[in-house]
Amino acid sequence: IIKPMQLNKTLYTALLTFSLFFSSAFAAPDFLPPEKAFPVQATWLENGRQVEIDFKPVKGYYIYQQSLQFHVLENGQPNYQFRPTLPAGITKFDPTFNKNLLIYKAPFLVQINLNQAISSSGKPVVELGNNTKGLRLQIELQGCAEDGICYPPLTLNFNLAAPGVKAEPMPDEATAAPS
Protein backbone atom coordinates (compact mmCIF):
# COMPACT_ATOMS: atom_id res chain seq x y z
CA ILE A 1 0.00 0.00 0.00
CA ILE A 2 1.31 3.43 -0.98
CA LYS A 3 0.85 6.07 1.64
CA PRO A 4 -0.55 9.47 0.53
CA MET A 5 2.76 11.22 1.34
CA GLN A 6 4.73 8.75 -0.81
CA LEU A 7 2.20 9.15 -3.63
CA ASN A 8 2.59 12.93 -3.55
CA LYS A 9 6.38 12.59 -3.61
CA THR A 10 6.25 10.10 -6.50
CA LEU A 11 3.86 12.29 -8.49
CA TYR A 12 5.98 15.37 -7.81
CA THR A 13 9.15 13.60 -8.99
CA ALA A 14 7.42 12.29 -12.13
CA LEU A 15 5.96 15.72 -12.91
CA LEU A 16 9.32 17.43 -12.40
CA THR A 17 11.13 14.91 -14.65
CA PHE A 18 8.40 15.23 -17.30
CA SER A 19 8.53 19.05 -17.28
CA LEU A 20 12.33 19.17 -17.42
CA PHE A 21 12.38 16.76 -20.37
CA PHE A 22 9.78 18.67 -22.37
CA SER A 23 11.07 22.13 -21.54
CA SER A 24 14.51 21.21 -22.88
CA ALA A 25 13.03 19.33 -25.85
CA PHE A 26 10.96 22.33 -26.91
CA ALA A 27 13.28 25.13 -25.82
CA ALA A 28 14.37 27.61 -28.46
CA PRO A 29 17.73 26.65 -29.94
CA ASP A 30 20.77 28.77 -29.16
CA PHE A 31 21.89 30.58 -32.30
CA LEU A 32 25.49 31.55 -32.95
CA PRO A 33 26.48 35.16 -33.57
CA PRO A 34 26.95 35.69 -37.34
CA GLU A 35 30.76 35.91 -37.19
CA LYS A 36 30.81 32.43 -35.53
CA ALA A 37 28.14 30.93 -37.81
CA PHE A 38 29.86 32.11 -41.01
CA PRO A 39 33.65 32.20 -40.45
CA VAL A 40 35.66 33.61 -43.37
CA GLN A 41 39.41 33.93 -44.05
CA ALA A 42 41.09 35.80 -46.89
CA THR A 43 44.54 35.03 -48.28
CA TRP A 44 46.42 37.30 -50.67
CA LEU A 45 48.24 34.69 -52.73
CA GLU A 46 52.02 34.83 -53.24
CA ASN A 47 51.61 35.71 -56.93
CA GLY A 48 50.17 39.10 -55.84
CA ARG A 49 47.38 38.91 -58.42
CA GLN A 50 44.80 36.78 -56.60
CA VAL A 51 42.98 36.65 -53.29
CA GLU A 52 41.52 33.37 -52.07
CA ILE A 53 38.53 33.55 -49.75
CA ASP A 54 37.70 30.57 -47.57
CA PHE A 55 34.08 30.45 -46.39
CA LYS A 56 33.30 27.90 -43.66
CA PRO A 57 29.63 27.94 -42.66
CA VAL A 58 29.15 25.95 -39.45
CA LYS A 59 27.00 22.82 -39.55
CA GLY A 60 23.34 23.83 -39.37
CA TYR A 61 23.94 27.19 -41.12
CA TYR A 62 24.11 28.24 -44.76
CA ILE A 63 25.11 31.25 -46.90
CA TYR A 64 23.03 32.62 -49.79
CA GLN A 65 25.02 32.68 -53.03
CA GLN A 66 23.23 35.81 -54.28
CA SER A 67 24.31 37.73 -51.17
CA LEU A 68 28.05 37.44 -51.85
CA GLN A 69 29.68 40.72 -52.85
CA PHE A 70 33.39 41.47 -53.10
CA HIS A 71 35.05 44.90 -53.06
CA VAL A 72 38.45 46.48 -52.57
CA LEU A 73 38.25 49.62 -50.48
CA GLU A 74 40.16 52.76 -51.30
CA ASN A 75 39.99 55.65 -48.82
CA GLY A 76 37.32 53.69 -46.94
CA GLN A 77 35.04 53.45 -49.99
CA PRO A 78 34.23 50.30 -52.03
CA ASN A 79 35.75 51.66 -55.26
CA TYR A 80 36.47 48.32 -56.94
CA GLN A 81 34.08 45.42 -57.35
CA PHE A 82 34.71 41.81 -58.39
CA ARG A 83 32.39 39.25 -59.94
CA PRO A 84 34.33 36.02 -59.48
CA THR A 85 33.16 32.63 -60.65
CA LEU A 86 31.36 31.05 -57.71
CA PRO A 87 31.20 27.31 -57.00
CA ALA A 88 27.96 25.44 -57.62
CA GLY A 89 25.54 25.74 -54.73
CA ILE A 90 22.62 23.67 -53.47
CA THR A 91 19.11 24.72 -54.54
CA LYS A 92 16.80 25.49 -51.62
CA PHE A 93 13.27 26.84 -51.72
CA ASP A 94 13.16 29.91 -49.50
CA PRO A 95 9.67 30.80 -48.23
CA THR A 96 10.82 34.31 -47.29
CA PHE A 97 11.66 35.13 -50.91
CA ASN A 98 9.11 32.59 -52.28
CA LYS A 99 11.63 31.17 -54.77
CA ASN A 100 14.49 28.73 -55.18
CA LEU A 101 17.88 30.13 -54.20
CA LEU A 102 21.40 28.73 -54.30
CA ILE A 103 23.01 28.22 -50.89
CA TYR A 104 26.27 26.89 -49.43
CA LYS A 105 26.07 24.55 -46.44
CA ALA A 106 29.64 23.25 -46.69
CA PRO A 107 32.98 25.10 -46.78
CA PHE A 108 33.88 26.60 -50.16
CA LEU A 109 36.62 28.70 -51.77
CA VAL A 110 36.34 31.73 -54.03
CA GLN A 111 39.30 33.16 -55.94
CA ILE A 112 39.37 36.80 -56.92
CA ASN A 113 41.65 37.86 -59.73
CA LEU A 114 42.76 41.39 -58.85
CA ASN A 115 43.29 42.19 -62.54
CA GLN A 116 39.53 41.74 -63.10
CA ALA A 117 38.37 44.58 -60.88
CA ILE A 118 35.60 46.86 -62.06
CA SER A 119 35.72 50.46 -60.83
CA SER A 120 32.68 52.20 -59.36
CA SER A 121 32.34 53.93 -62.75
CA GLY A 122 32.08 50.51 -64.46
CA LYS A 123 35.50 50.58 -66.14
CA PRO A 124 37.96 47.65 -65.87
CA VAL A 125 40.97 48.32 -63.65
CA VAL A 126 44.37 46.71 -64.13
CA GLU A 127 46.61 48.34 -61.52
CA LEU A 128 45.24 46.35 -58.55
CA GLY A 129 47.12 43.23 -59.66
CA ASN A 130 50.40 45.16 -59.44
CA ASN A 131 49.80 46.42 -55.90
CA THR A 132 52.28 45.37 -53.23
CA LYS A 133 51.47 48.06 -50.62
CA GLY A 134 48.47 46.41 -49.00
CA LEU A 135 44.89 45.69 -49.76
CA ARG A 136 41.65 46.30 -47.87
CA LEU A 137 39.07 43.74 -48.94
CA GLN A 138 35.37 43.97 -48.10
CA ILE A 139 33.00 41.00 -48.36
CA GLU A 140 29.26 41.07 -47.87
CA LEU A 141 27.24 37.94 -47.18
CA GLN A 142 23.95 36.83 -45.70
CA GLY A 143 22.98 33.48 -44.27
CA CYS A 144 20.53 31.59 -42.12
CA ALA A 145 20.34 28.88 -39.50
CA GLU A 146 18.48 25.81 -40.67
CA ASP A 147 16.47 26.00 -37.43
CA GLY A 148 14.66 29.06 -38.63
CA ILE A 149 16.39 32.43 -38.29
CA CYS A 150 18.06 34.48 -40.97
CA TYR A 151 20.72 37.05 -40.20
CA PRO A 152 20.84 40.56 -41.67
CA PRO A 153 23.53 41.11 -44.32
CA LEU A 154 27.01 41.01 -42.80
CA THR A 155 29.95 43.16 -43.94
CA LEU A 156 33.46 41.82 -43.26
CA ASN A 157 36.63 43.86 -43.80
CA PHE A 158 40.08 42.34 -44.20
CA ASN A 159 43.42 44.12 -44.06
CA LEU A 160 45.88 42.22 -46.26
CA ALA A 161 49.31 43.76 -45.73
CA ALA A 162 51.17 42.04 -48.58
CA PRO A 163 51.06 39.00 -50.87
CA GLY A 164 51.34 35.78 -48.87
CA VAL A 165 49.25 37.14 -45.96
CA LYS A 166 46.20 35.30 -44.56
CA ALA A 167 43.74 37.30 -42.46
CA GLU A 168 40.59 37.02 -40.39
CA PRO A 169 38.01 39.81 -40.57
CA MET A 170 38.94 42.87 -38.58
CA PRO A 171 37.15 42.34 -35.22
CA ASP A 172 35.42 45.69 -34.86
CA GLU A 173 34.57 45.66 -38.54
CA ALA A 174 32.17 42.68 -38.61
CA THR A 175 28.88 44.54 -38.72
CA ALA A 176 25.47 44.27 -40.22
CA ALA A 177 25.40 45.92 -43.60
CA PRO A 178 23.44 49.16 -43.81
CA SER A 179 19.88 48.70 -45.09
pTM of the model: 0.77
Q: Which residue has the higher pLDDT, 18 or 78?
A: 78
* Residue 103 burial class via C-beta count within 10 angstroms: exposed 0-12, middle 13-18, buried 19 and up: buried
pLDDT band at 29 (very low <50, low <70, confident <90, very high): low
Give, in order, the Cα–Cα distances in Å from 174 to each of 23, 73, 138, 155. 34, 15, 10, 6
Q: How high is the pLDDT of residue 129?
A: 54
The tens digit of pLDDT for each residue in 53-95 reads 999 999 999 999 999 999 988 878 888 899 999 999 999 998 8
Predicted local confidence at residue 7, as pLDDT = 45
Using CA atoms, how far apart are residues 158 and 151, in angstroms rounded to an integer? Answer: 20
